[in-house]
Chains A and B, each alone.
Chain A
């Protein structure tokens, strides 16, 4: 028996599926940025890391035939950018916001430079986990094909939340982020902790980028990312530096980004540009609502330069 058309229910369904899909890169990048910012440093260059990770993942997947190797390569490339960021910021008198902007431009430039050869060819993509086999309706089945990175990211968010609260490493990171003087008094190397945190943050951002080129939209081209790395920074502030809240906020951002395509799928094609702008407008509104001119943001790491 062929399933009936879902009619208007296909919009929330498409949004649900879209939210999961679109949120995955946000999830990884925001978790990476959350770790970096918890240690007291802000990394605005994650957009460049994201784009370069996407390119590296696609290139390695194409050359080796394995999408998962591409994901790992993207993560390693991201870690490299993280190390560069950490290295530059560890020099005295260097402004970490400016370094982030510079690495954003540099990362995107490098990605476009090396990625020229990979725009045309098709590379093996990441598989989906079909969770909708129980349904006869093809739309439900398609909507419930969830990518494995989403589950990895969700588990990671939970692990990070638990680690910040209950492990020694989490405590060290939080101390470094709240008060560098206290961390030094405890004998930890502030620059060392931030180096590790920024590197891992870059790794996660690279993995987030690999999702873009290896799953959705699933190809490499020069318009792949449009500010997702930046929105992740705003997302972390909105989530008050709590990894679980980052997960939920990523879903929210994913839903905002999925609204346009979901409506397009049922034929609503006006307002295309409005839906394009919607995630950025939402991010801006969230930032306005979450910030305060006088009080420090609740839960903000004390050493973070933008909230001092």
Chain B
């Protein structure tokens, strides 16, 4: 415990010395450098993997660049695929501030999309498009929020591990989707693929003017900024982070831990539900099994790579959107199976987690490490 007398006098900020400033920069630089090292490291390991299979890593990464970031067309593809990842990553990042590992965002996405499609059914033809979209937006957020909020409730109320319960709820959500889409709300006009009736062309979310990318992307980025401000500048966010640091200390301070846990999970679920909303309202136009596309699981990785910082989520999501966008091109050209991108993402995740061990270590002497 620092002696109170040693603290700088209140009201006058002590000028930081150059060494202190450099030290602080070096320590916070670690939070950018280490993930980049992890990416490079996993790229190297993946290259070895490709070489062992007789494929060319140079060709792979060249095609990855071209398919994800090389042309305007590939950029648009990338951005469209990044949009849902932003929302599902938020679903992992917000509870992570409280120390919770929630991985069931896919379930909330699915049910959010389903709710949006369902609520549009009675009103799609009669009400103006903005009203329909607003109703769908709210429905998706509420249903998604309730789904993951349930996870928080179980965690706080019964001590049920949130990782396991959120994943179980994912499987249950899939069953619910399949039941609704194949049963009571099935569109008789689509005999081959069971799905709900279309919400109508006029009710779809449009594209940003000039780009072939729907509004979900900027809204997602805006949501990241808002949630960052919520978690870092409001009392709710502060209380949440204290709870994440030490639950007993939080309770000792009288913080409403239960409300924080359920609230954070509800916000997370609402984000994932909105991912489902945009999938239905901007891409598919209806709810069906295409909603189960693995965005929720990729979002887990995006959030971990972004170190659960909402501001870092959009660039990381764009990176993974690029990987997904290039997937088709790479796999077709090089004859690799669909799962290649899954392997790459899984590898990145594993190496990233291993790289966590590098934080707090001193640089070796030959790189200039000090005492």
Contacts and interface: CB of A to CB of B under 8 A. Distances in A.
Contact of A281 (B172, B178, B337): B172
B353 A109 contact: no
B171 interface: yes
16 contacts: A88-B354, A94-B353, A98-B353, A99-B353, A102-B349, A103-B346, A105-B297, A111-B339, A113-B339, A113-B342, A113-B343, A230-B168, A273-B182, A284-B172, A287-B160, A306-B161
A97 B176 contact: no
What is the predominant secondary structure among interface residues of chain A facing chain B? helix
A288 interface: yes
Interface residues of A, number: 45
In the A-B complex, the 6 residue pairs with the smallest Cβ-Cβ separation, listed nearest first, are A106-B346, A109-B342, A112-B339, A277-B175, A273-B179, A113-B339
Interface of B: 101, 103, 154, 156-161, 163-165, 167-169, 171-172, 175-176, 178-179, 182-183, 297, 300-301, 304, 337-340, 342-343, 345-347, 349-350, 352-354, 356-357, 359-360
Interface of A: 44, 84, 88, 91-95, 97-99, 101-103, 105-113, 116, 226-227, 230-231, 233-234, 273-274, 276-277, 280-281, 283-284, 287-288, 291-294, 306
Contact of B163 (A44, A105, A106): A44
B277 to A, nearest CB: 23
A280 B354 contact: no
A105 B164 contact: no
B168 A95 contact: no
A97 to B, nearest CB: 5
A88 B161 contact: no
B168 A280 contact: yes
Nearest to B182: A273
Given A106-B343, A108-B342, A280-B172, A294 B159 contact: yes
Contacts of B345: 105, 109
Contacts of A116: 337-339
Contact of A105 (B154, B159, B340, B346): B346
A284 B165 contact: yes
A41 B352 CA distance: 20
B104 to A, nearest CB: 11
Contacts of A97: 101, 163
B82 to A, nearest CB: 19
